[in-house]
Structure 1
Amino acid sequence: MPEHTHILHITERSLWDAARERGEYRVSTRGRTLAQEGFIHCSTRAQLPPVAAFLYGSYEGPDELVVLVVDPARLEVPVRYEAPEPGAEEYPHVYGPIPVDAVVEVEPWP
């Protein structure tokens, strides 16, 4: 993937608000931390709808969902495109915390 392509991460607004106070985001995926998983799960724009449906398909709040748009060029940790199993589609994984200044946009998720 091109280095300048933004990667996306869907999350709950309260988790993003807490990260903004701390200066970095450390949630890997719904219900799992960076420390538990070893990386932060992300996706491309095309991968986002099925990922959101998988993670939050039955989600009814209390938080609204937001999409963090991350500029990999602003990260100081590796981003690796990896498949969950051999031959499967590759997803971007961020191997460390995401500094809040690497998030260039926060989009509402419908």
Structure 2
Amino acid sequence: MLYRIAERADWDAARQTGFFASADLAAEGFIHTSERHQVVETANRYYRGRPDVLLLELDEQKLLAAGVAVRHEFVASRQQAFAHVFGPVPLQAIGRTFALVPNAAGQFALPPEL
């Protein structure tokens, strides 16, 4: 599974259009995602303290079946490979969604269900 930290406005739009897209798709040509072990660092690095985000669980096999390319690419600034999703994500490729709520210090932890 892949995980995307999503702004609620983008998730609300996805539920209306049937596809999840975010500003990075328009700006960079792909949607940034994380693997489970990368979620907390990503959340705390880019979304710290934000109460308006949630975590989407994406099924990579369903993305590929829908014709959406996924490439695992090395990101030098993080010294790790991350999956990049090259197109809007159809809702059928999104499994579970989780609330991401920062603690009093503004930091995130994985949802207990994960």
Query: Normalising TM by the smaller chain, what interval?
Result: 0.7 to 0.9
Where structure 2 has 5 or more consecutive residues not aligned to the other structure, the ranges are 102-114
The answer to whether residue 58 in structure 2 is matched with residue 70 in structure 1 is yes
Is contact 2:60-2:70 (8 Å) kept?
yes
SS for the counterpart of 1:68 is strand
Cα distance in 2 for residues equivalent to 1:42 and 1:67: 10
- Displacement of 1:86 in angstroms is 8.5
Structure-2 residue corresponding to 1:103: 94
Structure-1 residue corresponding to 2:75: 84
Matches for 1:1-110 after TM superposition, within 5 Å: 6-27=1-22, 32-59=23-50, 61=51, 63=52, 65-75=53-63, 76-85=67-76, 88-110=79-101
Which amino acid counterpart does residue 7 of structure 1 have in structure 2? Answer: L
Cα distance in 2 for residues equivalent to 1:53 and 1:87: 13
Which amino acid counterpart does residue 38 of structure 1 have in structure 2? Answer: G
- Displacement of 1:101 in angstroms is 1.0
Which amino acid counterpart does residue 71 of structure 1 have in structure 2? Answer: D
Closer/same/farther in 2, CA of residues 81 and 20 from structure 1, 3 Å limit = same
Count of residues paired in the alignment = 98
Cα distance in 2 for residues equivalent to 1:51 and 1:99: 23
Where structure 1 has 5 or more consecutive residues not aligned to the other structure, the ranges are 1-5
Cα-Cα RMSD? 1.7
Is contact 2:10-2:21 (8 Å) kept?
no
Percentage of matched positions with identical amino acids: 36
Which amino acid counterpart does residue 69 of structure 1 have in structure 2? Answer: E
